[in-house]
Amino acid sequence: MEKNKKTVKKVDASKTISVIVPVYKVERFLDRCVESLVGQTYKDLEIILVDDGSPDNSGRLCDEWVKKDNRIKVIHKANAGVSEARNSGLEIATGEFIAFLDSDDYLEPTAYEVAMSKMTEDCDAVIFGFNQVGSETDISKHYLSDNIYDSANIENFVREACLNGLFNFVGIKIYRSSVCKGIRFRKGLQFGEDFLYNAEVIKKCKKIVTLSDCLHNYIIYQNETSLSKIAKIDLVVSTYKLEHETLVDWFGKSVWLNSRYVYRFFICMRNYVKNSDVSKEDKLKLISTLFDSEDMKEALANCQMTGLKRKIAKFIVSRKNQKFRYLLLKMI
């Protein structure tokens, strides 16, 4: 055994959480992330660092961490994206439970202890809230109510999680490994992979516990731009439609899904109009393509928008004059 390597005795192997951490160009943040894992008050962890062909010193840092703690494993692989990195971790995970953590984020010290205290024998997933951190003084909390969901009311959970922006994140969920069996992250997606993975896994869950505790710290960097600017708009649109189709196949057409469809495309187009460098004519064309589609007409006819922002969104989307829509999108 390497000198000074920390050996942590596991209390109960049947309660081990395999934590999968994809690593790529994060040498500035990796130590903070891993420190938050090895410092967890819940000690039964298998920490899998997946170096996704990172060109900086991240891979070397992973190797250094392996020498420090016997719970850490590392995979070095050619760069193929976050989905394949996570899938590589899933292939070697041995824990009874599965969790994920992005390498530029970090956990509160008691995160897994608090979550696992609610993981009863009949529970398949525990989901907690997160702190969105822009700076030491710019922190916003995102969380669900303390609740228990089963197959009879799972749609209530999905609706609340989608509304609060918590459905997508895998980093705030601990899954029983049996419900993850055979499910992998979709390759080749620029974004949206978390949503689709969560949907497939949660479909198999018979009981889910949600916590209002914000135990995950999600870091927002000042140079981050809107999704509609960093990704090709056609990829944004196709991913949003795929997410909508996934939910409709799961629950059928409903008022809340129609409302979500209208509002998400409103936000998408607002960001696109404000941030994209394409011509005004191209923006007007896409506004017409999305807002005048049969899918959008059906959603507008069967949605219920609550709150001023969502009512404004419906008003703008339902206008017929493209230039008027365009002006409103730029102003909002």
pLDDT of res. 234 = 87
Collapsing DSSP states into helix, strand and coil, what is residue 215? Answer: strand
Parallel, antiparallel or unpaired: strands 139-142 and 125-133: antiparallel
Contact between 208 and 152 under an 8 Å Cβ cutoff? The reply is no
Collapsing DSSP states into helix, strand and coil, what is residue 281? Answer: helix
DSSP string across 82-111: HHHHHHHHHHH--SSEEEE--TT-EE-TTH
pLDDT of res. 189 = 84
End-to-end CA distance of the chain: 60
Contact between 112 and 17 under an 8 Å Cβ cutoff? The reply is yes
Instruction: Measure the CA–CA gap between 131 and 161, rounded to whole angstroms.
Output: 15
Contact between 89 and 75 under an 8 Å Cβ cutoff? The reply is yes
Contact between 103 and 30 under an 8 Å Cβ cutoff? The reply is yes
Output the six-digit token pair for 204.
């198999």
Report helix angle 154-163 to 255-275, nearest 10.
20
Low-confidence ranges of the chain (pLDDT < 50): 1, 10-11, 13, 224-230
Q: Provide the whole-model pTM.
A: 0.90
Contact between 118 and 48 under an 8 Å Cβ cutoff? The reply is no
Which H helix or E strand runs over 76? strand 72-77
Q: Which residues pair with 75 in a beta bridge?
A: 50
Place of tokens 């505790």: 213
Distance of CA 98 to the CA centre of its chain: 15
**pLDDT tens digits for range 90-116:** 999 999 999 999 999 999 999 999 999
Contact between 20 and 90 under an 8 Å Cβ cutoff? The reply is yes
Distance of CA 269 to the CA centre of its chain: 21
Q: Which residues pair with 107 in a beta bridge?
A: 216
pLDDT of res. 38 = 98
